[in-house]
Structure 1
Amino acid sequence: MDGSYGSVAQHSVGTCPGVGIYVGKNKYGLGKVVPEFKAFFLPWEGDEYWYKSYQVLAINRDAYSQQITDVKYAIDDVAIFQYPPETMRISGVTNNDCQTVVKTVTISKTTEVETTWNIGRSTMLGVTGSITAKIPFIGSGGIEIGAEKTLQFSRGTTVVESLSHSVSVELSIPPNHSCRVRMEGRKFKADIPYTARLSRTYRNGETQWTSISGTYDGVQIGEVRAVVDRCEPVADAKPCP
């Protein structure tokens, strides 16, 4: 940020905490800004020279948007963690008739899944952002890289998606019996290192680029299936003739 006669911008970078001296530069080199003396000082061969105009180093805390592009995953030797199968939803059917009933049972479930591309640095609260990358698919057979997509971050560098699963099964329910069907799924987790380019565009239109190394932290649901438990007699059922 441009300065003169000892002026410093908000969020200027100090040389040491509490001393009131800030990092500055001009065309001759790096020095210090001392507001008390209303000048910029530049060391040279054991002496200090002062100038009235300079630039002061400041942290840009303006609101910005950020984008992640050119993502390259390192999927070799990445360990996949498989969670035990878990019941996602249960449906039951009771046959109070005296004849066997055949019925198709359909179970659906919508689940929120979070995926985070950690970038190794903080993101200001409320910042909008997106990522353009190929999306990994994690399963028991390994990791596959899918087609490239552009996703909007829900918060920070995390994408929250709603995924729907549905299973159907045909049941043959004996008279005076109750049958239960469970939707069962398994979660898969992997932490995948990646490199990418990070750009931040600030309110004044300035865009800054940098290379980053981060970690893809994803949990996906797979191997969704219907499980039919053994049918049980209905308690206190009216006997069939």
Structure 2
Amino acid sequence: FKLSLLQIAEVQTQTYLEWKEVHPPQLPKDAVPVFDKKSKQTLYVARLEDCTPCFYDSAKKSCSVSTFHGEFNLGHTVQNRKISFLLNKDNFEIFEWKKSSFGEVPPLPVETCNGYFIARNDFGLGYITDNSLITIGAKKQDTTENEVLTLNHDIKGQHLTITEYQIGSAKASENIAELKHFTASNKNCEAAKQQVKLDQGIDKTVSFLKTRTHTFGGTGETSVSGKVPLIISIGGKLGLKYDYSRLNSKTTSTVEKSLHSVSMEVQVPANHACSIVINSNTFTADVPFTGQLTRVYNNGEARRTLTDGIYSHQEVAEIQALVNPCTPLVDKKRC
């Protein structure tokens, strides 16, 4: 018996933001801009090695941080320090400022690390930590209404188009597992035939997620299109059919229930018992892929970016029914 039972394609669900260290500091591609209300300038989000946020001025080629001295926060530039910039690959993610009162942090905030959240008010740019706002060149604000930089995940839908599989980098393995164990007993004085049957419902699942380093989650529907690699091309025994997948969750998946049946006839000698074991041979393969992810927001705006991930395939390639040697019954009948 050869059955296609389980298929899974999986990539880690995360956003397209990352931190990139640049030394000496210079503005990299895809750096995230923020508008400073006080100076009316556009600066760029960065951080120091200790997670302290700083804001890079591309004209002055310097990064300013906030310090607290007496009752004022004095902005100063850092020299000869390692600086990491926040990057938004292909401008894929959308940012928005959300109001924050009394140090409350709204959902999906932009964090440098260790609890530093990018924020601003009319006095300048800064960050929230320990329920206070520290800004550049102004008094420390403990209870004022501020704005926190957040990700916009008001997403209507996403579509992942698989363009290529790196078959040469695939990793494959096989595993044998026991599905069912039967015992057929015959307490009669003549040999008897017994029918052994296994009916089992199998969930067939395909799911795709995308790969990045900062997890923030998301909403909306995701669909997937593209060719599924033939399992024979990566060392398997069977070919696969294409599956279109769709589900309201962080993953994109489809689940189908199929009923598979295995049956056999066993000749059981008089006053004997025979055991039957049904095993499955499962083939597993992890195949890297590349593709394009298109995201549409509820306001109608669309963003696109290239993506990569792992297509993980599991398939029961073979089912075997094995009859073990029959043994005499302990409480056998006299004949």
- Which bracket does the TM-score occupy, shorter chain normalised? 0.5 to 0.7
Select between 154-163 and 169-178 the one with higher mean Cα deviation.
154-163
Change (3 A) 1:64 1:20: farther
- Give 2:174's aligned amino acid: Q
Match for residue 185 of structure 1 among 266, 277, 280: 280
Change (3 A) 1:22 1:110: farther
Q: Does 2:259 align with 1:173? A: no
Match for residue 102 of structure 1 among 182, 190, 193: 193
Match for residue 246 of structure 2 among 134, 139, 152: 152
Alignment partners' CA distance in 2, 1:120 and 1:225 = 38
Match for residue 6 of structure 1 among 3, 21, 37: 37
* Pairwise CA RMSD: 3.9
Match for residue 120 of structure 1 among 207, 211, 217: 211
User: Where do 5+ consecutive residues of structure 2 fail to align?
Assistant: 1-33, 39-43, 58-118, 125-148
After TM superposition, the score normalised by the length of structure 2 is 0.51
Match for residue 122 of structure 2 among 36, 39, 62: 36
Q: Does 2:184 align with 1:89? A: no
Alignment partners' CA distance in 2, 1:154 and 1:239 = 65
* Per-residue deviation, 1:143: 7.2
After TM superposition, the score normalised by the length of structure 1 is 0.68
Select between 178-187 and 67-76 the one with higher mean Cα deviation.
67-76
Whichever structure has more strand as a proportion of its residues is 1
CA contact (8 A) 2:155 2:295 kept: no
Q: Aligned pairs, how many?
A: 208
- Give the share of equivalent positions with the same residue, in percent: 25
Change (3 A) 1:154 1:174: farther
* Per-residue deviation, 1:226: 1.0
**Residue in 1 that maps onto 2:154:** 62
Match for residue 78 of structure 1 among 163, 170, 176: 170
* Per-residue deviation, 1:172: 0.8
Select between 136-145 and 199-208 the one with higher mean Cα deviation.
136-145
Q: Does 2:220 align with 1:220? A: no
Select between 202-211 and 190-199 the one with higher mean Cα deviation.
202-211
User: Where do 5+ consecutive residues of structure 1 fail to align?
Assistant: 8-12, 24-32, 39-56
* Per-residue deviation, 1:88: 0.9
CA contact (8 A) 2:184 2:273 kept: yes
CA contact (8 A) 1:100 1:172 kept: yes
* Per-residue deviation, 1:185: 0.7
Q: 1:110-162 CA distances to partner (integer Å, 9 max, x unpaired)?
A: 34465554521347255532222333454794376634331124753363645
